[in-house]
Structure 1
Amino acid sequence: MENKKVVVFLAKAFETMEFCTFIDVLGWARVDYGHNIIVDTCGFTEKVISTFNVPVIVDRTIEEINVDEYDALAIPGGFGEFGFYEEAYDERFLKLIKEFNAQGKIIAAVCSGAFPVAKSGVLQNRKGTTYHLKNGYWQNKLKELGVNVVNEPVVVDGNIITSYCPETAPKVAFELLKMLTSEKEMEVIKKAMGF
């Protein structure tokens, strides 16, 4: 099997649950099912503090990421009140998203992770979704960025996956796994994990 590489980008105040599902699902695929999927974590700094104050030491900083080396970019969402958008909207990250999209590579975002994807312009006039509760407030904000918002748990438009709340994080990780392998392989791992 050919090697696949995924980079999981952690902006300050990322949600741990949305981050760890990528690590677990792709880890099961690699360790128990022989898929050569390498996962790198990445941030602006070597240590990134999550929404609930859990520090994560990342494998690489954003300057070290060469898009050519990767097959996919995964983006957990986070809490604005703890500074998520300060880094999620940083021009260097938006540029990285644009580069992944320009090469037709997979971009998998959970919940508010859809906002930097939309802010970069790559979701313009494409289908996407984000946090769906609070009377659709956040979905309306996403519409303002030119996204054709669909109120569904997981929305796939070509190479881009978006979703609408923390509960969907495993669904996004499995969708990413399916795109990296096959539906059949993904179902095997999903079942093995008890989903």
Structure 2
Amino acid sequence: MKKVLLLLAKGFESFEASVFIDVIGWNLVDGDKTTELYTCGFTKEVTGSFGIKLNVDCLINEVNINEFDALAIPGGFEEYGFYEEAYHPDFLELIRDFDKQNKIIASICVGALPIAKSGVLNKRKATTYNHKNSIRQKQLADCGANVQMEPIVLDENIITSWSPATAMGVALLLLKILTSEKNANYIKEIMGF
């Protein structure tokens, strides 16, 4: 069984989190049945953007990365405190640990920024939120990333993307890497995309 850890910081974007939950879940039920998703945060109940609350499976300090095959990181809103937890040393260390073992790290939108802040995107291709006058691409570059003006970027084991519009594409790419292109295309088809 391939296990995905969904790492949630306070202020996470619910739509971006939901695509990982759904794609991995649809695969467990109707695909090749080889994937499971577990949620993680600093507190048992994580409050996302717009006041959405999610009870997580485990706390960040309880994670044994040897039990997981991939890490998924949705972006979030600064107005809801996303960067307070996304830039926390324990959050960044977990990212580094996944990268050291060359495990897949998939992010959506500003979920790329803690990956960059952790140092693992230094001199690697990546992208992040890029809407008009966005400072996020500059922040990514300031952390040493080689910023690409593409909606989804895969560099070795790390997937980054630039907006919620890319969310389903990122989740399906993660599934493709974990299983197969044929299986990911099947899930995409039965989900109606």
**Category of TM-score, reference length = shorter chain:** over 0.9
Tell me, in whole angstroms, the C-alpha distance in 2 between the residues paired with 1:101 and 1:188.
29
**Aligned residue number for residue 46 of structure 2:** 48
2:156 paired with 1:149: no
Aligned to 1:17: 15
Alignment of 1:34-183 (within 5 A): 34-183=32-181
AA matched with 1:178: K
Q: How many aligned residue pairs are there?
A: 193
Corresponding residue number in structure 1 for 2:25: 27
Any runs of at least 4 consecutive aligned residues in structure 1 with deviations exceeding 4 A, and if so which? none
Taking the aligned partners of 2:84 and 2:135, their CA distance within structure 1 comes to 20
Post-superposition CA distance 1:26-83 (Å, at most 9, x none)? 1111101232211100000000001110110001110111011100000000011211
User: What is the TM-score normalised by the length of structure 1?
Assistant: 0.97
How much identity, in percent, do the aligned residues show? 55
CA RMSD of aligned residues (A): 0.8
TM-score for the superposition, normalised by structure 2 = 0.98
Question: Can you give the 5+ residue segments of structure 2 that lack an aligned partner in the other structure?
Answer: none
Residue type of the partner of 2:165?
E
Report how far residue 23 of structure 1 moved: 0.5
Q: Matches of 2:31 and 2:77 in 1, distance apart? A: 34
Name stretches of at least 5 consecutive residues in structure 1 with no aligned partner: none
